[in-house]
Every structure is written in structure tokens, then in C-alpha cells.
Amino acid sequence: MKSYIGIATAAASFAALILSVFPTKNTLSKSLAWAAKLVAFVALLSSCVCSAHTPRHDQTLRLGGLRKYEKLSLFKARFPRSICGEPLDPWHINRHTLNDPDNSEWLTCCIDDPKEVSAFSGFKVLSRDRNCPVLVGFHRERLHDMGFAVDASSIETVLPEFEKIYGPIQHVKTLRTTTVPVRFAFWNYGDVTLELNEELLTYNIFEINPPPSDRSPEAKIVLLNLF
């Protein structure tokens, strides 16, 4: 933008130079008109160019400040109380069911410290079926996927904080059920997807701790996943 401002300034200076060389009334009118048109055109051009180069929304999708392909070392530095390893039981993943990774290419990391968990959402993060509240998968020490559930009644409840950063939802899909419909919504940039989806508690047979605030037949929670 500075270069276009410089052009506008130069145009005005050039018009002034013309006036000093040709100080007649006729030359004065023509010079001022020419200079005004040139300055207006340059100002419009600079405005268009600057707005075109300024992205409206962030395209680096994150959860809890973490992005896909984040280094394991950076993750451990940010969440020092987390524990990583290989799950002994794929249905119950927590710090007591993760064994020594033994240089495995695939690692699952568990975040269960309340202070560290709070970094992921302003909503209450739920632990389902004695799993860690936040689970993060790594492949060759690069973040591959992560997910957690929050005590929210619908996607709309959690949307504002994401739309402020990433803009309107790119894709929405609705699934019909015997009670109320549930929806999937996501953003996608390149090979990275941030997904929000509703889940009916009626079909959730897992033990949830702490219990959701709504336990009605139509109650839902929201799952957030980055992959």
C-alpha cells in the first residue's frame, strides 16, 4: 500500500510542477482536474489491491491452539502433564491404559489435567466411558488427529467462537433420527478438517463424567474433531 500512496503523492507533486511551469488560468483548471482524477484512481486501485491480499479469515484450523502436523515436542512443552503411549484397550484410553510406546510410529496422548483441558473450550469438556477428556493422536511425532466432547446442546451453541476465526461453516449435513435430527458441520482447508457434530445422549451408552447438564430424551452433546 505504501507504494501506491507514493504514486499518489508523486502525481500531486507532478500536478504542482505543471502549475509552476504553466501558471495560466486555462492550464490551472486542466491540471487540477487531471491531478484529481489520477489521485482518485490510484486511491481506488490501492484499496482494491490491499483488500485482495488480506485474508478475511484464518485458514490454519486449530483446536486448543493445536494444528495438524504440530510437533510432539511442542505439544509436550505446552501440555507437560499429558501422557503418551500405545493404548492397551482401544475402548478405554486413559493414562492408566497407555503403555510404553517402544519407539512406535503411532502414539496416543492423553490430556486429563483440569487446567490443561480448559485450554480447549470455554464449555465443560466431558470424559466418556473413562476415556481421557482430550485425546490426541501422533504419527511419526506429528499431530495426526484429536478430539473431545463438550457439554453443549447444539452446534449453534459453540459456533460463534469458531466462526469469528474461520468464518461461516463451509459444509453442513443433517441426519434424521427417531427423535430429533443431528448435524455435522465442518471447515476444510487443504488436507485439514475441523468438524463439529451433535450426538444424542439417547444413543450414547457410555458413562459420561461429569454428567451433561441436559438429560432429556432430546438432549445432545457436541463432539469436536481435528484431522
Q: How does the average pLDDT of the chain come out, rounded?
A: 77
The per-residue pLDDT for 218 is 73
The per-residue pLDDT for 100 is 77
Indicate if the pLDDT at residue 79 is higher than 80.
Answer: yes
Largest interatomic CA distance in the chain: 92
Place of cell 489491491: 49
The per-residue pLDDT for 19 is 42
Q: Residue 223 in contact with residue 157, Cβ under 8 Å?
A: no
The per-residue pLDDT for 33 is 53
**Angstrom distance (rounded) from CA 97 to CA 111:** 13
| Model confidence band, residue 169 (pLDDT cutoffs 50, 70, 90) | confident
Rounded (5°) CA angle 137-139-72: 75
Selected residue with higher pLDDT from 24 and 71: 71
Q: Where are the beta strands (DSSP E) in 124-191?
A: 125-128, 134-139, 142-150, 171-175, 182-189
| Model confidence band, residue 3 (pLDDT cutoffs 50, 70, 90) | very low
The per-residue pLDDT for 2 is 40
The per-residue pLDDT for 57 is 64
Mean pLDDT of 199-204: 74
Grid cell in block for residue 90: 482401544
The per-residue pLDDT for 73 is 95
| Model confidence band, residue 14 (pLDDT cutoffs 50, 70, 90) | very low
Determine if the pTM surpasses 0.85. Answer: no
Mean pLDDT of 21-49: 49
Selected residue with higher pLDDT from 203 and 164: 164
Mean pLDDT of 82-91: 88
pLDDT digits (tens, 9 = 90+) for 87-121: 888 888 888 888 877 778 899 999 999 999 999 99
